[in-house]
Amino acid sequence: MREPVDVLICGAGAAGLTLAIDLARRGVRFVLVEKLPSPFQGSRGKGIQPRTQEIFEDLGILDRAMAAGGIYPTVRKYTVDGRHVDQEVTSVNDPTPAEPYRLPLMVPQFKTEAVMRERLIELGHAPEFGVELTRMAVIANGIEAVLTSPEGEETLRARYLVGADGGRSFVRSTLGIGFPGKTLGVRAIVADVVLEGLSRDVWHQFDGGDAGPMAICPLAGTGLFQIQAPVPLDGDIDLSAAGLTERVALHTKRTDVVVRSVAWSSTYNMNARLADRYRDGPVFLVGDAAHVHPPTGGQGLNTSVQDAYNLGWKLAAVLAGAPEALLETYEAERRPLAADVLDLSTRLLAGFKTGDNRRSREVQQLDIGYPTSPLSFGGRSSTLAPGARAPDAAVQGAGGIPTRLFNLFKGTHWTLLVNGTSSLAPHAGLHIHRIGSGMEIEDRLGQFARFYGLEEGASALVRPDGYLAGVFARDQIAALRDHVDRYCN
């Protein structure tokens, strides 16, 4: 039997890796296992939305992710007669002080996960590939799991188990958690290929006529193109280089586009499904184990990352002594949002069927919040309500060195932003920043005042995941202290 751990994470995709990084930086004992013998090598979830970029900044991987990919190219839409028109896939918006990231990144999923594994190794951990969770049981104070690898079986006990093991989740099915939803009647291919005949400066999208649309996108940071297209619901699909060349000709009506080699490929049926619950005792579901939806809108990987980012700090807090009820907020916060994402992705699928891949602000996930959460317990300011994403702002240290609120948030702690002075005593797990003229942080550009709308002496309490717990007036110090004592550790 292995040494017991606090958390066993089953699945080393984007969700499992995000959770592992967050637990590692918080000093939580965990094991991360993945049944695949080696890392996933496909581009599948290639879009990194602005809110996820903010999370990656906090986790210390954003610059690496940016270097591994790039921005989305202009879309070139071809009609059946060969004419084309160019358009942007997303609304082009410049960054603002409150929202420093306004455009999605394109990073092939295999490169995103490689960046995550690199960060995890820096924190002293690594996924165990070729190790499969084959049996599990809930016991007193946790779970007992049997892990199977080519070396044999091992037993491991953990306080909590997190199923990050995909749409066919062993964890979910073993617990008998329902996964209602529907198959959407669309089967598609996705393939990463080397091809000739198309430029790499635009995302090529073909009408396809009766064959249906086809998108051929140059994958940033690689020499590959990603091919996506609907295919018949039944029958074998030839995913060899020759077979894909024939399929490209069918959809594009061109014979000059030739697939030379295939790095990775897959066929899949599009589904929209949501787990009946995200928790069963000491077991949690994150990512595709909890929800699957069409790839339209680039929401899958991003929603999975945010599941794990929401759960990680709560697990660490409870392990450190916070109330067990804190873990109930994971499902309360994340499941309704997943339902909204399913609706959005399914609606955007109609555009995919006609070759329309344009996206608006709704896919950026910057407006996601938790207004009805039990953790949204404080009051509101003139500009912000509890549960809202805490905006960034440019501020200055007392020595005049420029910084940002996101720099103050970065890490594993809660943050209290005070407009002026506060009588709240220092507390473990809480960073208090007094902002104003002559204070440790100065708001010389007035951005903090404009974005947060705090009255003199009021405080904004920001959760470890960057959402506003609430605003507390100067005379509400007792209520503020009560919440800090309850959740900060």
When pLDDT is averaged across residues 175-201 and rounded to a whole number, the result is 95
379 in Cβ contact with 324 (< 8 Å) = no
Question: How much is the average pLDDT of 465-482?
Answer: 95
pLDDT, residue 176, reads: 98
Structure tokens at 387: 């549960």
Angle between the N-to-C axes of helices 50-59 and 14-25, in degrees from 0 to 180, rounded to the nearest 10: 40
Name 176's Cβ contacts closer than 8 Å, sequence gap at least 6.
none
Q: What residues pair up with 183 in beta bridges, in sequence order?
A: 271
Domain ranges of the chain: 5-70+102-181+272-363, 184-270, 394-487
Per-residue pLDDT tens over the stretch 1-18: 899 999 999 999 999 999
| Per-residue pLDDT at 352 | 61
Q: Hey, what are 393's tokens?
A: 């702002």
Q: What is the pLDDT of residues 421-462, one digit of tens each?
A: 988 999 999 999 999 999 999 999 999 999 999 999 999 999
Q: Is the pLDDT of residue 237 over 90?
A: yes
Q: Which fold has domain 394-487?
A: Glutaredoxin (3.40.30)
Q: Which residue has the tokens 């008998």?
A: 176
Asked whether the beta carbons of 268 and 318 are under 8 A apart, the reply is: no
Q: Degrees (nearest 5) of the Cα angle 305, 51, 169?
A: 20
CATH superfamily, domain at 5-70+102-181+272-363: FAD/NAD(P)-binding domain (3.50.50.60)
pLDDT surpassing 80 at residue 245: yes
Mean predicted confidence (pLDDT) in 174-195? 95
pLDDT tens sequence across 40-81: 999 998 999 999 999 999 999 999 999 999 999 999 999 888
Share of the chain above pLDDT 90, in %: 85
Instruction: Quote the percentage of the chain above a pLDDT of 70.
Output: 97
Range scoring the smallest mean pLDDT among 224-233, 323-332, 357-366: 357-366
Domain 184-270, CATH among 3.30.9.10, 3.40.50.620, 3.30.70.20, 3.20.20.70: 3.30.9.10
Angle 306-340-370 from CA coordinates, rounded to 5°: 55
Structure token pair of residue 280: 């069963």
Is the torsion defined by CA of 432, 436, 441, 444 positive or negative?
Answer: positive
The CA distance from 312 to 464, in Å, is 10
pLDDT of residue 353: 60
pTM of the model: 0.96
5-70+102-181+272-363 and 184-270 share one fold: no
How far apart (Å, rounded) are the C-alpha atoms in residues 283 and 278? 8
pLDDT tens per residue across span 99-134: 999 999 999 999 999 999 999 999 999 999 999 999
pLDDT (tens digit per residue) in 348-386? 877 666 555 556 677 778 889 999 999 998 899 999 999
